[in-house]
Amino acid sequence: MDNIELSNGCKMPAIGYGTWQTGDGEAARCVRSAVEAGYRHIDTAYGYMNERGVGEGIRTCGIAREELFVATKHWITGRGYEKTLAQADESLRNLGLDYIDLYLVHWPAVAKTFDDWRRINADTWSAFEKLYHDGKVRAIGVSNYLPSHIEALREDCEIPPMVDQIEFHPGYWHRETVEWCKKNSIAVEGWSPLGCGKVLSSPLIGEIAAKYGRTPAQICIRYAIGHGVVPLPKSTRPDRIADNLRVFDFSLAAEDAAALDSMPQLGYSGFFPEDAPADELVRQMEK
């Protein structure tokens, strides 16, 4: 499997197994299936509420810890320096691991919700820098950050993010963010590379899949890889988990990638960072 080299020299496998919306009870089985199929990069988050199951899968999959690349994300309820340090320790305990390969800020604080969004993000990030210096995490990055959020962070902090994880699939991709990150040596990961399954019935993707003798899911995943984006497809079905990994023996012709680039919007989650969707979700849960 190919690797992407992060700006600190750390190697990250070029595809990861996503676990958003996978229940804690089934996560261990799913992770073991993914590792058996060949995935070596597992992506979870404190906010997914499945770190325990994911950790159990990692610890019982039969592959040495150092051969796996484990990513988790800091959740918005832990913003600020001290709370971030405490939440990172909780994630490590949940996972049952003594280090994380990649630790990501899940969502930025944004101007819509906080006047002092910039200070909040900088305080959280300072804790990330400490976790990195202390060796609890091998690489640090952000998720759902637009270039303006990363620019502010770079001015306010010492270590620039090594990764930005954003929604990426045919029918919705942050062209500007992907291009900006590339210019600034920030690796891009794509969440929901299948548009949560909603883009798989697109006639255009079906046509391209037939042309290459591939499944629509493989076309979407290969599309991300062609953009230099690390896709994080998720499935709870062992056959699909394995199918989604068979994408390193073909590539899309430029005209097919271009057709996917200009597809009308499809499968968009509706989660635009500046609208603070995670803050809204937490607000509704607390009601």
User: d(Cα 34, Cα 245) in Å, to the nearest integer?
Assistant: 9
DSSP label of 273? G
Q: Is 112 in the site for ligand A2P (CB under 6 A)?
A: no
Q: Is 217 in the site for ligand A2P (CB under 6 A)?
A: yes
Q: Is 235 in the site for ligand A2P (CB under 6 A)?
A: yes
Residue 107 CB-half CA count within 13 A = 22
User: d(Cα 101, Cα 51) in Å, to the nearest integer?
Assistant: 14
Q: Is 244 in the site for ligand A2P (CB under 6 A)?
A: yes
Closer residue to ligand A2P in complex, CB, 18/160: 18
- The residues annotated with a catalytic role in the active site are 48
Write down the residue that tokens 């796996």 correspond to.
68
Q: Which residues of 112-149 are buried (b: 16+ CB within 10 A; e: fewer)?
A: ebbeebbebbbbbbbbbeebbeeebbbbbbbbbbbbeb
Closer residue to ligand A2P in complex, CB, 86/210: 210
Q: Least distance (Å) from ligand A2P to the CB of residue 241?
A: 8
Q: Least distance (Å) from ligand A2P to the CB of residue 82?
A: 33
Among 243, 247, 256, 276, binds ligand A2P (CB under 6 A): 243
Q: Is 234 in the site for ligand A2P (CB under 6 A)?
A: yes
Task: Please spell the DSSP secondary structure of 32-47, one letter per residue.
Answer: HHHHHHT--EEE--GG
Q: Is 3 in the site for ligand A2P (CB under 6 A)?
A: no
Q: Is 171 in the site for ligand A2P (CB under 6 A)?
A: no
Among 16, 57, 141, 193, binds ligand A2P (CB under 6 A): 193
Q: Is 141 in the site for ligand A2P (CB under 6 A)?
A: no
Write down the residue that tokens 């609890």 correspond to.
136
User: d(Cα 246, Cα 237) in Å, to the nearest integer?
Assistant: 15
Interface residues with ligand A2P (CB under 6 A)? 18, 192-197, 200, 215, 217, 233-237, 240, 243-244
